[in-house]
Amino acid sequence: MLLHIVDRERAIAAKQSGTYRADSLDTEGFIHCSTPEQVIWVANQFYRGVHDLVLLVIEVDRVHAEVKYEPVEGVGDFPHIYGELNADAIVQIIDFPPNSDGSFTLPKQLLT
């Protein structure tokens, strides 16, 4: 399972259109993703206090584009999707609100 943080509006548009294309695909050549173990670090680094976010829960085996795990210096290997994400690989969309202090915690749906 991969996770991708995005605003709710873009998630809904992706499901309706059949594909998702993050801005980073044009600027960096891939869509940034995280594992469940990594997503809180990413959210707290880059999205602290941002509202109206959701997590796209992505089934790796359904992704048509190439998925590579690549090192991020000092942090670990992160999954990157090298192409548009086909919407049928998105198996769930989970609300991802920040806590009252702006930090994030893993949604209960992802706790194992």
Query: How many domains is the chain partitioned into structurally?
Result: 1
pTM of the model: 0.94
Q: What pLDDT does residue 74 have?
A: 81
Mean pLDDT of all residues in 59-69: 98
Domain for residue 111, yes or no?
no
Cα–Cα distance measured from residue 45 to residue 72, given in angstroms and rounded to the nearest whole number: 13
Domain that holds residue 52: 2-100
Domain for residue 108, yes or no?
no
Q: What pLDDT does residue 100 have?
A: 96
74-87 per-position pLDDT tens digit: 888 999 999 999 99
SS3 96: coil
pLDDT confidence band for 35 (50 / 70 / 90)? very high
Judged against a pLDDT cut of 80, whether residue 25 lies above it is answered with yes
Domain for residue 59, yes or no?
yes
Domain for residue 105, yes or no?
no
CATH number at residue 16: 3.20.170.20
